[in-house]
Structure 1
Amino acid sequence: MPTYVVFGKRYYTLKSSAGFVERGIASWYGPQFHGKKTSNGEVFDMNRISAAHPTLPLPTYVRVTNLETGKQIVVRVNDRGPFKKNRVIDLSKAAATKLGIIAKGTGLVEVRAIDPGRPGQEPPKPQPIHGDLFIQVGAYGDPANARAMQGRILSQLGQKARIVPPAGSGRALYRVQVGPYKSVEETDTQAARISGMGIETYIIIQ
């Protein structure tokens, strides 16, 4: 499996994009990289629809849905990034404008890999959300460990954390999540505080 390192973190690229779906925070990039080469050797044009993703094969087509408005676009991933913590995809300026996140700078999205050669295979359109953001700080097979992390968050951060019990038929994990938060900015601030405690964070869209 091909790997690469950016800012001291190792990324493992996927062999296939089949079945890939994720939700998280999208950002966009533009003038600083305009005219420079992308990770697959093409020239980045911020005024064209494209995107960067840290692990999807290059190129991959994805359907990006703005979960706050329901607006959708299809973009071709031809670059690596974003490398800011808790971001799932970097859109070109044109793509961010079309998706409606250019003014805010970020947006809550679903990213779903598609095969442009297979029309008529579209899944149901995700329903727009107006919910909350949570910061996941751990997932444990032993509920006692989850409770210990819950107590640590309360004692060191002064915030309550919830424990989400296992669901489905997969591995039984008790997930510890802090929140809810109403904005990306607030979530980023709190995630940075938690990371400063030496805890790995992952932002969850409720």
Structure 2
Amino acid sequence: MRRLLITTVLFLVGLHLYGQKPANTNNKKGVASFYHDKFEGRRTATGEVFDNDKYTAACNKLQLGTYVKVTNAANGRIVYVRINDRMAANNQRLIDLASVAAEQLDFTDAGTTKVKLEIVSEKEGKMGILAQKEVFASPKNEF
């Protein structure tokens, strides 16, 4: 009887744990800002020339080359970017986005916004960026 009870308890605990999703360590929350136009044409940490019209960003918490999905906590808008630069060491912000990404997240008037970052695969990141270019390059009258 005792063995049956222990087995049942272990089974139920296992079912409970199986249904729970593990904490996602690929998520980060913080404040986003965007690049000033004065950085246009300067070299980034990866050696690329910075362009405010490309879906890139600076971040000190993630590896260069990482693709992330950035969600604006205030309005739920999403943008995909690739990390290609670093910020000043004393910067309190989580990420610094190219202007095109900040415009898509709709916070350029405010200057900063709270965001959630999710690391995504290279494939998802590239597809997301490509889709954004297609959608936001189209005239608004086409929709």
Q: Output the TM-score relative to the length of structure 1.
A: 0.46
Q: Could you tell me how far 1:83 is from its partner in structure 2?
A: 4.4
Name structure 2 gaps, 5 residues minimum: 1-23, 126-143
- Contact 2:66–2:122, Cα closer than 8 Å, also in 1: no
In the alignment, which residue of structure 1 is the partner of 2:105?
Answer: 99
Instruction: State the distance in 1 between where 2:111 and 2:104 align.
Output: 13
Query: Of residues 22, 26, 30 in structure 1, which corresponds to 2:36?
Result: 30
| Cα offset, 1:85, TM superposition | 3.8
CA distance in 1, matches of 2:88, 2:33: 8
Name the CA distance, whole Å, in 1 between partners of 2:112 and 2:61: 20
* CA shift in 2, pair 1:84/1:91, >3 Å: farther
Partner of 1:155: none
Question: In structure 1, how many angstroms separate the alpha carbons of the residues matched to 2:66 and 2:102?
Answer: 18
Letter in 1 for 2:120: I
Match of 2:52 among 46, 54, 62: 46
Query: Which residue, 83, 89, 92 being the options, matches 2:95?
Result: 89
* Cα offset, 1:82, TM superposition: 5.3
Query: Higher helix share goes to which structure?
Result: 2
Alignment of 1:2-41 (within 5 A): 19-41=25-47
- More strand as a share of residues: 1
Question: Relative to structure 1, is the Cα distance of residues 22 and 98 closer, same or farther in structure 2, using a 3 angstrom cutoff?
Answer: same
Q: Is the 8 A contact 1:47 1:93 kept in 2?
A: yes
Equivalent residue for 2:74, pick from 68, 71, 93: 68
Select the structure with the greater relative contact order (CA < 8 A; seq sep ≥ 6): 2
The AA in structure 2 aligned to 1:54 is: N
Deviation by residue 1:181-203 (Cα, 9 ceiling, x = unmatched): xxxxxxxxxxxxxxxxxxxxxxx
> SS of the counterpart of 1:39?
coil
Name the structure 2 match of 1:111.
Answer: 117
The SS at the match of 1:117 is helix
- Provide Cα deviations, 1:72-94, integer angstroms capped at 9, x if missing partner: 01101100015454210000111
* C-alpha contact 1:53 1:82 (8 A) present in aligned 2: no
For 2:42, what is the secondary structure of its paired residue?
Answer: coil
Paired residues, number = 102
Q: In 2, Cα distance between the equivalents of 1:100 and 1:118?
A: 22
| Percent identical | 37
Q: CA deviation at 1:112?
A: 1.0
Q: Counterparts of 1:84 and 1:29 in 2: how far apart (Å)? A: 16
Residues 62-71 or 48-57, more deviating: 48-57
Moved >6 Å (runs of 4+): none
